[in-house]
Amino acid sequence: MKIVVPVKRVVDYNVKVRVKSDGTGVDIANVKFSMNPFDEIAVEEAVRLKEAGVATEVIVVSAGVTQAQETLRTALAIGADRAVLIESNEDLQPLAVAKLLKAVVDKEQPSLIILGKQAIDDDSNQTGQMLAALAGLPQATFASKITIADARATVAREVDGGAETLSLQLPAVVTTDLRLNEPRYVTLPNIMKAKKKPLETIKPEDLGVDVTPRLKTLKVAEPPRRSAGVKVADVTTLIEKLKTEAKVL
C-alpha cells in the first residue's frame, strides 16, 4: 500500500509573528520556518503504518518555494521514502494546492492520503476536504486514531457531542488531529540518511494546474491590545462594572 502525505512549510509555532507596517501581510524576514505541526503528525502516522507492515511506501509532497526542500528533508528523516516538491513562488491558496495534490494522486495512485487538518499560518482547514472532493474519494477529518484492515480505514474522531468512528473504503483522504500521535525526535543519523533519499522537483505547469490566486488580501492588522485587568473590592462593585463598563449584563 502506498501513502501520500502532503506537508507545508510554515513559520515556526514558537515565533511571534508581526504584521508589516504597510498592512500587506506578515513579516517573514529572518524568521524560522518548520513543518506544519499537523502535517508532522500525518508523516509520523504514515511511517508508523509502514513500520507495522501495512504500507510499503510513504511519499511526502509539498507545494511552495525552493526552501520547502528543507521541510521535505525533515519528513524524509522521520521515515518517508521519497519526496516531491511542486515549486512555485505564487501565493498558493487551498484550492490551488488541492488541485496540485489531485494531480499527484492521479499519478501516484496511493491507497491513502494523510495530511494535517489545517496549517497554523492561514488556519483554512480546507485543503483535505477540497482534495477529497476533486478526487472523488471518501474522507475522514480530525482523526484521533487510524486503523487499516481489509482495504478499509477505520477512523476515530472527536466531535462536539463526543466521539465518532467512521469506516472508509480505500483509497481515501484522512486529515489528522493533535491526539493522533506524538511525532518522534529526528536523530542526526536519520537526517544524514535523508540527504540521500530521492527528492523530485516539478512545476505546477508540469501538472497542468493554474495556481493563480483567486482571493486578494486587502489588509492585515494585528488584533487590538487587551486592556489590563483590575481588582474589585466586592461582588457589588464587580456587578456594577460588568453593567456599566463591560456592558455584558
State the residue for C-alpha cell 480530525.
Answer: 142
Helix (H, G, I), strand (E, B) or coil at 145: strand
Who has greater pLDDT, 245 or 146?
A: 146
Helix (H, G, I), strand (E, B) or coil at 186: coil
168 pLDDT exceeds 90? yes
Mean of pLDDT values over 111-136: 95
Who has greater pLDDT, 19 or 61?
A: 61
Average pLDDT over the chain, rounded to whole?
93
227 pLDDT exceeds 90? no
Note the pLDDT of residue 147: 94
The amino acid sitting at 5 is V
Q: Rounded to 10 degrees, what is the CA torsion of 94, 113, 50, 165?
A: 110
Helix (H, G, I), strand (E, B) or coil at 236: helix
Alpha carbon distances (Å) from 87 to 74, 90, 196 = 17, 9, 20
Residue 210 confidence class, pLDDT cut points 50, 70, 90: very high
Domains of the chain: 2-244 (3.40.50.620)
Alpha carbon distances (Å) from 110 to 126, 146, 243 = 20, 16, 59
65 pLDDT exceeds 90? yes
Residues above pLDDT 90, as percent of the chain: 75
Mean of pLDDT values over 141-158: 93
68 pLDDT exceeds 90? yes
Contact 60, 7 (CB under 8 A): yes
pLDDT in tens, 37-53: 999 999 999 999 999 99
Mean of pLDDT values over 146-162: 91
Contact 208, 174 (CB under 8 A): no
pLDDT in tens, 21-37: 888 888 888 899 999 99
